[in-house]
Amino acid sequence: MLSFILKRIGSLIPVCLGVLLVVVGMIHFVPGDPVDIILGDYATLADKNALRHELGLDETVIKQTGRYIMHAAQGDLGHSLIYQKSVNELIMERLPATIRLAIASLLVALLISIPLGIIASVNAGTKIDFAAMSFAVSGVAIPTFWLGPLLILLFAVELGWLPVSEMGSWKSYLLPAFSMGIPLAAALSRITRNSMLDTLKEDFVRTARAKGCSESRVILSHAFRNASLPLVTVVGLQFGVLMTGAIITEKVFDWPGLGSLLVEGINTRDYPVVQGCLLFFSGSYLLVNLLTDIAYSLVDPRIRLST
């Protein structure tokens, strides 16, 4: 087990280095001088040189890249040009809102997808199955930037049941969580159904029925327990989707999370913030994937043996 974990961590090192190079390189190799973009056309040469020096852009690319990587490896993501705070501080301020929204969305997705997937699999080939899978196919295609305003118009503007935007009480979580959770629920319900259909054909399910277990016990305790394994992986992989989905959802609902920080950073040309957010998003995505792999290998030892 330990060798599996070490091997998996080892394979992440070149990827992390590559991610760092892409993040730093984007500023250098993409057309356009960041100083010109930040200060605009009317800044004096002295101002431009001062900012170039402040950003360290007057050094060689190799030196800049090396310095950024050294700092990032120590957890220092630089200093914001606009907020006059460290990027770490800014990320830590905004992170809780994004995580709370991601967890709420995941909860919504699981609460919808698990019962729906189970019901569809038990009634495979019937109208119930068709209805559930129609939701799955169309739900995946619903863009958050459309579902969000739809939910706002219906539940906040027309019915007045929920607040329009901004983080506050538990009620303020409902609309953004549903607008991010519904497309995810659609994808997960399809996976739950397919996994359940495979498991329901297994011998141990037939044995459980033959032993006289009630149908609900066979489905929930025997079949679903085994069918839930693929869900673990997919939920882990969907974490990245939730984190970046937050960029659009946070814009729709005026949510003060990391996604908003990234968009604000881009709009104000605050490159240290943009680089910090990119690194944080991709770093946490890689970490969650690693943890998912480890969790999965704990549950299914064949994963360890095949690597």
Question: Which residues of this protein are in contact with other proteins, per CB under 8 A?
Answer: 14-15, 18-19, 22, 26-27, 30-32, 34, 37, 137-138, 140-146, 149-150, 152-153, 157, 164, 240-241, 243-245, 247-248, 251-252, 262-263, 266-267, 274, 278, 281-282, 285-286
In the complex with other proteins, which residue's Cβ is closer, 219 or 278? Answer: 278
In the complex with other proteins, which residue's Cβ is closer, 26 or 303? Answer: 26
Nearest to 209 by CA among 221, 193, 198, 192: 221
- Nearest approach in angstroms of CB 274 to other proteins is 6
In the complex with other proteins, which residue's Cβ is closer, 144 or 199? Answer: 144
In the complex with other proteins, which residue's Cβ is closer, 90 or 219? Answer: 90
- Nearest approach in angstroms of CB 14 to other proteins is 5
Contact 78, 71 (CB under 8 A): yes
The number of CA neighbours under 13 Å toward the Cβ of 95 is 11
- Nearest approach in angstroms of CB 109 to other proteins is 16
Contact 239, 288 (CB under 8 A): yes
What is the number of residues in the chain?
Answer: 307
Burial class (CB in 10 A: 0-12, 13-18, 19+), 129: middle
- Nearest approach in angstroms of CB 67 to other proteins is 20
In the complex with other proteins, which residue's Cβ is closer, 81 or 213? Answer: 81
- Nearest approach in angstroms of CB 64 to other proteins is 16
Nearest to 48 by CA among 294, 114, 156, 57: 57
Residue 218's CB is within 10 A of a number of other CB atoms, namely 20
Find the farthest-apart pair of alpha carbons in the chain and give their distance in angstroms, rounded.
85
